[in-house]
Structure 1
Amino acid sequence: MAVYNQQDKKFVGTYGGTFSSTNGRHFATYEFNNFDSTLVGKSVSGTSTMQNGKWQTTGLGKNGTATETLEKINEQATDSPLAGTWRITSRERDGQMSTMQPSPRKTLKVLSDTRFQWIAFNSETGEFSGTGGGTYTADNGKYIEHIELFSRDASRVGMQLTFNYEVKDGKWHHTGQSSTGNKVNEVWERISK
């Protein structure tokens, strides 16, 4: 979940983690929550209903007890090859690819068919390092992001970034330039669809 005001380029906050839903009940464990880091690692449960295109939940929210009503964003189905949750596993630094070993400090990228959010956090300490997101397209080896939220620098909101991408052997190879103009060469591994 990300809360932001795109027009004013204002990031409010974000939280998330693992989630499952069965027979109108949901179960979630916070992996990050910059509203309240004391919730990181805690599990919550509540009710979950879908009516008239709106999803109402109890027991989640920024404080773990809220009732929220969410309306699904109409996405034009694209069957994106990148839809799912990815974890960065290596990055080029000083001309060398550096492997990132699994640890509580992680950077994830969560993509639907048309929207993305990356989150950097430590699920052990509750430290939140940053997030960004918006809409994207992935077609013919080009991955294009349209930034709608950025927690560390509001001036990035509205930018469009174009990268080259290739998925091979279950890994997403991602190259181009960051919003600061620095070279990007990363490898991500899918952790869920």
Structure 2
Amino acid sequence: MHNYYIYVAFCLSIKSDGPKSMKLLLFTLLICSTAFAELTAQTAAINGAWQLNEGDKTHNLLLTDGFYFHTIYQGKQLIMTQGGSYEIKGNKLACSSLFNSADSTKVGTLTDIPFSLTAGQLRLDVPEGRVNFKRIDEGKAPLAGVWRITGRMGDDGKINAIHQTGTRQTYKMLTGTKFQWVAIDPAKKQFSGTGGGSYIFKDGKYTENIEFFSRDNSRVGASLVFDGKLENGDWHHSGLSSKGAKIYEVWSKTAM
């Protein structure tokens, strides 16, 4: 996407010395806009939640706003989770790793994964072989996106801004029906925790149904209900945490 804008800027910098130059410029812009439209359509097509069942293991793959999260769990046991950013380059997903709970040496590495879409399935050619993920949702919902916490209410009832310091990061991704949060530090190749499952957001109530939780798998199967609202593009989230502590948080969207 970024390359598209750079290329258009380059096209616009061409001096027009006559009708031929103008025609060439317009033709080039048409090619650029067509390529951009195709890229946008591809990105929208793979957005959402995907799932693969491997025996009694479940693979969740969430894709939205240039981020991907891939998680494997078995019953209540989290096996591993990994994720990062991606771009679509032709028929490949160009992935850059931000975290990997099973192998920290992979953080910061780049991987090109050939892919194709057919009849509600996402086919990936990974080093281990070809796999087919089944679509769970299309990533369309009011809360769909990738969020970072930017504010928290203090004891005085005022919302205090959270200013990011250091390299530690906390993300929460939501598709149409699935959610996952991760606490990571890419600079230190450190993974601190994750949790996820399905969610419902309706009539000002946000409900999470936990399907995996790295810090305490006894929480798997539990449902947490929060008050939620979108205000000026931010997500206000309040209620009781999994530990029973009162919270009021403000989350803002982010994208690669």
TM-score, normalising length from structure 2?
Answer: 0.66
Distance 1:78 1:23, change over 3 A: closer
1:94 offset after TM fit, Å? Answer: 5.1
Question: In the superposition, relative to structure 1, how do residues 133 and 68 fare at CA in structure 2: closer, same or farther (>3 Å)?
Answer: farther
CA drift of 1:174 comes to 0.4
- Range moving further from structure 2, 98-107 or 156-165: 98-107
Aligned mates of 2:130, 2:180 — CA distance in 1 = 20
Cα distance, 1:58 vs. partner?
3.4
Quickly say closer, same or farther: Cα 1:68–1:188, change in 2 above 3 A: farther
Which residue is 2:73 aligned to? 4
Aligned to 1:145: 208
Match of residue 101 from structure 1: 163
Distance 1:83 1:68 in 2: 28
Whole-Å separation in 1 of the counterparts to 2:155 and 2:104: 33
Higher strand share: 1
**Matched residue count:** 185
Residue in 2 aligned with 1:85?
146
Q: Which has the higher contact order (CA 8 A, sep 6+)?
A: 1
Structure 2: segments with no counterpart, 5+ residues: 1-69
**1:41 counterpart SS class:** coil
RMSD after superposition: 2.1
Q: Which amino acid aligns with 1:168?
A: E
Report the identity percentage: 37
Structure 1 residues 70, 125: CA separation in 2 closer, same or farther (over 3 Å shift)? farther
Give the equivalent residue in structure 2 for 1:71: 133
1:68 positional shift: 5.0
Provide, for residues 84-117 of structure 1, a one-character-per-residue CA deviation record: whole Å limited to 9, x for no partner. 1111112345556443323421111111110000
Structure with the largest fraction of helix: 2
Write the distance in 2 (CA, Å) between the matches of 1:101 and 1:66.
Answer: 41
User: Could you say which structure has the larger radius of gyration?
Assistant: 2
Larger CA deviation: 128-137 vs 41-50? 41-50
Deviation at 1:122, TM superposition (A): 0.5
